[in-house]
Amino acid sequence: MKIAIHGRNFNDSARPFIENMFSELAKRNIEIQLSNTFREFLDKTGVAHQTELVYHSPKELFDPRLVVSMGGDGTLLETISHIGPKQIPTIGINVGRLGFLATVPPERISDMITALEAGQFKIDERSLVSVESNVDMFNGLNFGLNDFTITKTDTSSMITVHTYLNEEFLNSYWADGLIVSTPTGSTGYSLSCGGPVLVPHSQSFIITPISPHNLNVRPLVVEDNAVIRCEVKSRSSNFLVSLDARSFIADEHTQITVRKADFSARLIKMLDDSFLNTLRNKLSWGLDMRN
């Protein structure tokens, strides 16, 4: 079996589990390819990884059976950008903080390896958002698992986002910005701006305004086969766009169309992993001092 691993820095408490993971992978003769940035971090911190195979860009990624993301949800989003249309199954080890997407705790890494070898897991297909523009805003990586966001720049006043749904005028959002979220991203930025939580396989997008000037403007759930087009006006003549962790400063001549990507992200989940359990645990639903 061949696997690729991408990660970021991790705290000392996770180190013994990660060192044990590399040792166990070597014992099982599993071929490993590391992302260049993760390899540099491992070498810098003295973590033995027993591999020389490295990829510097998504084009150099070999043909692994699966990809391991080691970090938090942000690291997993970055890992998905490395995979793209290849749709290689991906699993997240949570050495970060919240962990809605990266759900395997470090202490269960050994169990994870055993389950992966035995095929005791499930594949969770997640829809992606795709952004089309007259300029290359994201270096060809125009897809995201969580959300696409238009926001004002730090020094500007609020912006106006003229929004069209399937070429029919929807609204002019006078606000700090606008979020188009997938169901996966519904527990992220959109949630903090008052958007609803969607179960992962809802065939929908959420259009969520950020601090709208008109308080009667609310988030809107639309079908994910809709085409969303945005025209942005700003006093500073520029604004910020972001797609998961990637960002770009655009000007008013930038044309933006958002739609569902024609490929999906394939997340590996352990058999006892449940979105509803994660939702309760991460958002502390039902926890009350009176109970």
Q: Are 128 and 144 in contact (CB under 8 A)?
A: yes
251 in active site? no
Distance (Å, rounded) from C-alpha 110 to C-alpha 21?
7
From residue 97, how far is each of 76, 174, 187, 208, 270 by CA, in Å?
12, 33, 14, 25, 19
Q: Is 263 exposed, middle or buried (CB count within 10 Å of its CB: 0-12, 13-18, 19+)?
A: middle
- CA-based torsion, 160, 185, 127, 72: positive or negative: positive
Distance (Å, rounded) from C-alpha 242 to C-alpha 252?
16
**Secondary structure E strands in 166-277:** 168-175, 177-181, 204-210, 220-223, 228-233, 238-243, 246-251, 256-270
Phi, psi for residue 109 in degrees, rounded to 5: -60, -45
- Please pick, among 43, 63, 73, 111, the residue that the annotation labels catalytic: 73
Distance (Å, rounded) from C-alpha 144 to C-alpha 165?
20
Could you list the active site residues? 73
